């Protein structure tokens, strides 16, 4: 049978760590879980199949932080803003284990102003903007690599470029 055997280290035919996308006619896709700082600089990134729920990637994302995290104190707590996809008990346990102050929107809860009108969340756009910056790289927007480690490496290189451009822009302002 031709092509029936795979050599060591090869994943599935279309690549490893992919899954059926629940919003796109079950096409094979990948999910990027990204942790950013307050200004949008990426701190960690993890990939998984598109069908993996967000809250299941939270532990791996927090564990993949590339810089040493300062310990939170009473005077300087560390906040973690999450969307409604993380409103599950396992996600809350992970946030407590890492000593973050959680800000998780409840499912079905809308942000309202003092008058009672709907107000849209102001924090999630930072993550969406960083994902948009990463999607400017064509090799990240469309996954061409079969091996998940190669794809994750490209995403990390793109994150390094974001930090470099940011530092370069700041040095020009000085």
> Given this model, what pLDDT does residue 60 score?
94
pLDDT tens figures, 115-155: 766 665 556 788 888 999 998 888 888 888 888 899 999 99
Q: Please tell me the predicted confidence (pLDDT) of residue 3.
A: 46
What is the CATH classification number for the domain harbouring 146?
Answer: 3.30.420
Flag whether 13 is in a domain: no
Question: Would residue 3 count as lying in a domain?
Answer: no
pLDDT of residue 120: 58
CB contact at 8 A, 22 and 53:
no
Give, in order, the Cα–Cα distances in Å from 171 to each of 31, 158, 167, 168: 34, 20, 6, 5
| Alpha carbon distance 139, 155 (integer Å) | 9
Give the structural domain span for 93: 19-112+119-166
Q: Per the domain annotation, does 12 fall within a domain?
A: no
Per-residue pLDDT at 59: 94
How many separate domains does the chain show?
1
Query: Quick one: pLDDT at residue 9?
Result: 45
Higher pLDDT, 27 or 15: 27
* Residue 6 covered by a domain: no
Inside any domain, residue 145: yes
């Amino acid at each position: 049978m031709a092509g029936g055997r795979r050599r060591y280290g090869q994943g599935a035919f279309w690549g490893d760590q992919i899954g059926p996308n629940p919003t796109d006619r079950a096409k094979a896709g990948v999910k990027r879980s990204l942790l950013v700082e307050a200004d949008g600089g990426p701190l960690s990134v993890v990939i998984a199949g598109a069908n993996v729920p967000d809250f299941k990637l939270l532990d791996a994302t927090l564990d993949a932080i590339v810089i040493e995290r300062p310990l939170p104190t009473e005077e300087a707590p560390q906040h973690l803003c999450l969307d409604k996809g993380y409103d599950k008990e396992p996600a809350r346990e992970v946030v407590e284990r890492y000593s973050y102050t959680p800000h998780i929107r409840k499912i079905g809860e809308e942000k309202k102003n003092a008058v009672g009108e709907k107000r849209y969340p102001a924090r999630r756009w930072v993550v969406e903007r960083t994902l948009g910056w990463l999607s400017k790289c064509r090799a990240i927007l469309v996954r061409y690599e079969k091996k998940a480690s190669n794809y994750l490496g490209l995403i990390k290189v793109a994150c390094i470029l974001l930090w470099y451009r940011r530092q370069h822009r700041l040095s020009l302002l000085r």
